[in-house]
Chains A and B, each alone.
Chain A
């Protein structure tokens, strides 16, 4: 099918594919940055969700008999509390395994006074539920210590949050750079088609009619180039995701993108094409406004 006549007004032979490839690179980098941001936000949410209601009760008692009895009593009381989803005494063999790198096999004799530890998962991380657990534990052993996992993993959460914002800043920077590329391309286009535009003006073309010629071209190049870049970036993200899944890390597992995240990434070329269309219009109208 032939193009609409008004779309042939600009000489297509003067068109270069440079813009398309620039946009492909821009969108490739933008999608990677956006995926990083979305992945980190997801990991941060997963971490918060996992840690918000997770506690460890620690009992320090030299007498192993009293310690184990107190641990059982606390576990029983805590299990009965509302909002508690799991209570598990940490296996002593597992504790010994954790200490082995520091003490060596010889240091792990049976008389070593190790604290009793009870892992508790709550349905939510609200303060009232935590206070109830603390009260229940201290009713049995007043010196019982309650460790909130969210507290000691907060630097990790802050780090994830920083990377998320860094990724957002990268996306904004890439969008700004794309808008600048579009402005320069539109101005270059006006310059190379100056004679055609002069004739169109004398024949009674409005600035908006001329702007439409450029904005359509630039938006199409952005969309096509953007799709190329996006597909390449998504393929790379998928590949990295497969490799990360193979590592079996709980934290890296949280970085995985949700279906909505993939959809958002797929919408980026369209969003950039719209932005390019607007930027091209502004550039063309601004430049033509200075002429007669």
Chain B
């Protein structure tokens, strides 16, 4: 399988502080499923920010879709970002828009004609089991419902990479499993999925997934193939 993401000795520093990420090197194959794990503050979110182009590396090379993302001119970033779906831990839904409009947002941003928006949005809302909540505003939805809307928004454009930061952090175990099932089914459709989590029970549910563990800003398994059997997961 072709590499869709390649990190080479990547470092990330915010301002003049110490490096948040150091010497990160790994590759992600297209169509595979990855977990990024590590303790809080280890650098998982920073790693994801580099992946979804919210940050540029301060050193090293981040290659996305075969191009050096760190050297991309600003005007090319939107095109790259449209190929990536992101699910945030805090959902980041627009609270003044309905569930329907939140899910439709990436299509409208991409300039899809309004006549072609309704079908995919209804389909996604049904897929996440919220077709009857289309007009509800995010503040009136439960955490799990908001998370599912966020997932629907992230995948509606059929992105090549789906990045999820602690997607199950705010939901109960049943809902967590259902969300993971959504990611798995998307992965089976060919999307590369990267999920940051510290829930090892969750990791064990996707047997084919690979895992990367970050400790104090460094990747302790550069091959990206390290797996912990559920019973041996570090606490």
**A interface residues with partner B (beta carbon < 8 Å):** 5-6, 8-9, 11-13, 195-196, 198-207, 209, 289, 292
Contact = CB atoms under 8 A, between A and B. Distances in A.
B96 A204 contact: no
A204 B92 contact: no
A5 B106 contact: no
A204 B108 contact: no
A205 B104 CA distance: 13
B32 to A, nearest CB: 23
Interface residues of B, number: 27
Given A206-B78, A289-B74, A5 B108 contact: yes
Interface stretch (B37-45, B51-59, B198-206): B51-59
16 contacts: A5-B108, A8-B97, A9-B94, A12-B96, A13-B96, A198-B92, A199-B105, A200-B109, A201-B81, A202-B92, A203-B81, A204-B78, A204-B109, A205-B78, A207-B74, A292-B56
A202 B81 contact: yes
Nearest to B85: A203
B96 A195 contact: no
Contacts of B55: 292
Given A8-B96, A198-B92, 15 more contacts: A5-B101, A6-B108, A8-B101, A11-B94, A12-B96, A195-B92, A196-B94, A199-B94, A203-B153, A204-B78, A204-B109, A204-B110, A206-B75, A292-B54, A292-B55
B15 to A, nearest CB: 14
A202 B104 contact: no
Contact of B104 (A5, A206, A207): A5
Contacts of A198: 92
Contacts of B77: 292
Interface string B45-87: 0000000111110000000000000000011011101100010
A209 B106 CA distance: 13
A195 B138 CA distance: 15
Contacts of A6: 108
- Most A CB contacts (10 A, CB to CB) among B55, B75, B81, B101 go to B81
Contacts of A202: 52, 54, 81, 86, 92
A203 B96 contact: no
- Most A CB contacts (10 A, CB to CB) among B55, B56, B74 go to B74
A204 B97 contact: no
B114 interface: yes
A155 to B, nearest CB: 60
A11 B96 contact: yes
